[in-house]
Amino acid sequence: MIAAQRPLSPTNANVRRGQTLRRAAAMLCLGLTACSATGLSTNENMLPDPSNGSANDHSAGADSQRWMLPRFGMAVPRSKYATLAETEQQIGTDMAVMRVFARWDTEFPSVDVARMLTEGRKVHLSVRPRTEDKRDILWRDIASAAPGTPTYDQLRGWLEKVAAYEGDVYFTLNHEPETQASAPNGTPSEYVAAWRRMVDLLREIGGGDVKTVLVLGRGPYVTGEIDQWYPGDEYVDIVGVDPYNWFLCQGTQRDWMTPEDLIEPALSFAQSRGKKLAIAEIASTEDPDDPTRKAQWIDALGDYLSRPSVAADLEHVTWFSVHDAGWPDCDWAWDSSPQSAEAFTRLVKRLNG
């Protein structure tokens, strides 16, 4: 759903009213010690969701009885279906949403992603304006592209593809635009212009069911630089963030950070704009001196995401399960140790059922 595009249908209005009631109940529960006596719990999703469906049903509208917890999923190397299926078999629970990355001229959907879509999974797609031969598409050129030009045709082609999918699709144009990797594409104001052009075109072609997610790293939410990158409430459906517990990754000496410290700045911003937050990528490295520390971190993540005051404002969470062989201290994989694998399994079952 594109921000400020059209009124809610009666069905969506009922769901929205149900979400509001659930959020109010959750907030009330924070101050009570006997929520379980009323059918509510600060740790369990007990109140039925009006969208109905079972916990492991990925079809549209099947958000289950797990009333508040965000959908949980992951990104796997090269979005390979076999890797996803193997992970789900090991864990014993399905992923509800998949994070997929593409370049400007990538074929979409790939065979693997098409299978994920066919099975009804939610997909959060990020398209980076860079071609497979590493040619950057400037943001200002996207913003000013006239119909009939290659840049316009490519952008429209992407939007028509995601709009054609019948289900929940989250779309991001150039995630983490503030990073050095995206510096060749342009300035913050040019990015904002490109984003607005993208949303205007999506509205023009009737892609009202596509949810736009503005995704930046944690830094801009801490420094306040997010204001330079934010296209405006009417152009953003969901605020997104990619927070990582880097620690010793890439030879750095950063502090070990809790999930709450990593997520809270972006969550506060999203709440201030009246938006939900998507944790588009999240992961932690291991601590070479403590083989249980990452597992404890994953358990703490589950505790934080399950707080009613937090969960009520989360859209989805995806774990970045990739191991960069070039940086041995950057093992983000869910099963980087037996302890981490066990904790991750607990986390997924806690959120997805």
Residues 202/211, Cβ–Cβ less than 8 Å = no
List, for residues 240-292, the tens digit of each pLDDT value.
Answer: 999 999 999 988 889 999 999 999 999 999 999 999 999 999 999 999 999 99
C-beta atoms surrounding 300 within 10 Å = 15
pLDDT reported for residue 9? 33
Measuring CA to CA, which residue among 57, 23, 72, 54 is closest to residue 351?
72
Domains, the chain, ranges and CATH?
A: 70-352 (3.20.20.80)
Q: How far is CA 131 from CA 103, 107, 173, 263, 282, in A?
A: 6, 11, 14, 31, 26
Strands 169-173 and 122-128: parallel
All residues at 6 or more sequence positions from 204 whose CB lies less than 8 Å from its CB, including other chains: none
List, for residues 35-64, the tens digit of each pLDDT value.
Answer: 333 233 333 333 233 233 333 343 434 344
Residue range 79-108: average pLDDT?
A: 94
